[in-house]
Amino acid sequence: MAMSAIYVLNGPNLNLLGAREPEIYGEDTLADIEKRCDGKAKQLGLSMDFRQTNAEGKLIDWVQDAGANSSGLIINPGAYTHTSIALFDALSAISIPKIELHLSNIHAREEFRRRSVTAAAVDGVIAGFGGAGYLLALEALKELMN
């Protein structure tokens, strides 16, 4: 089976996983999640480019790059989920399969976290399953790519 390249993009503060509010985000670090994702991606016949940034502009550049150079995108926009029209526009501009991902259930959180301005620009949203959500997103993205 040929390997298909996908991007897994992570937004602000996800570099702090494992230390930042583990009661909400879990004890896994982003490196732990990446390692599990790498194994799952290989099992699904996918190659993966896994990245994290705290900078909105860089995240937008990576979304555009994914649109030009990958077969699919999983994005955890972090707090930009609730605020970034620019990220919504970038996601809307690319035509590859896209999944938005959240570690916590944003709909059970603070009022301001319950709205995603980016969700309308993706094919589906996975939220509330912690690090396992990334594995679910990989499986879902593989289905969308088929």
Strands 98-102, 46-52: parallel, antiparallel or unpaired by DSSP? unpaired
Structure tokens at 19: 């230390």
Is 80 designated active site? no
Single out the catalytic residue among 7, 80, 82, 102.
102
Residue 3 DSSP class? -
Whether the Cβ atoms of residue 89 and residue 117 lie closer than 8 Å to each other: no
Which SS3 state, helix, strand or coil, does residue 20 take? coil
CA angle 49, 118, 140 (to 5 degrees): 50
134 is catalytic: no
Torsion angle defined by CA atoms of residues 83, 80, 4 and 64, in that order, rounded to the nearest 10 degrees: 60
Catalytic residue among 7, 25, 80, 134: 25
Show the DSSP H helices in the chain as ranges.
Answer: 22-25, 30-43, 56-69, 85-93, 132-145
Catalytic residue IDs: 25, 102
